[in-house]
């Protein structure tokens, strides 16, 4: 697995509860859930996040508990 070096993000950027990207360990932001995420939340709560390091080749988007 290739680890990407990500430059520091500005301090004023809101990070979603200090969660990190499971792919590159970069910061993530919360995004709107898909319909399947809402169905899954009936069983166990999940939230959808997207990596903020998209410009540095990390394209991860997914759900985290």
Residue-wise pLDDT tens for the chain (65 aa)?
Answer: 555 555 555 444 454 457 888 888 888 888 999 999 999 999 999 899 998 886 677 888 888 87
Q: Which residues pair with 20 in a beta bridge?
A: 27
Q: Name the β-bridge partners of 30.
A: 49
Distance between CA atoms of 46 and 40, rounded to whole angstroms? 7
């Amino acid at each position: 697995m290739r680890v990407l070096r990500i430059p520091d993000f500005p301090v004023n950027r809101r990070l979603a509860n200090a969660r990190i990207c499971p792919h590159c360990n970069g910061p993530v932001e919360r995004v709107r859930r898909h319909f399947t995420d809402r169905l899954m939340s009936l069983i166990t709560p999940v939230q959808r996040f997207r990596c903020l390091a998209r410009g540095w080749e990390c394209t991860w988007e997914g759900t985290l508990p």
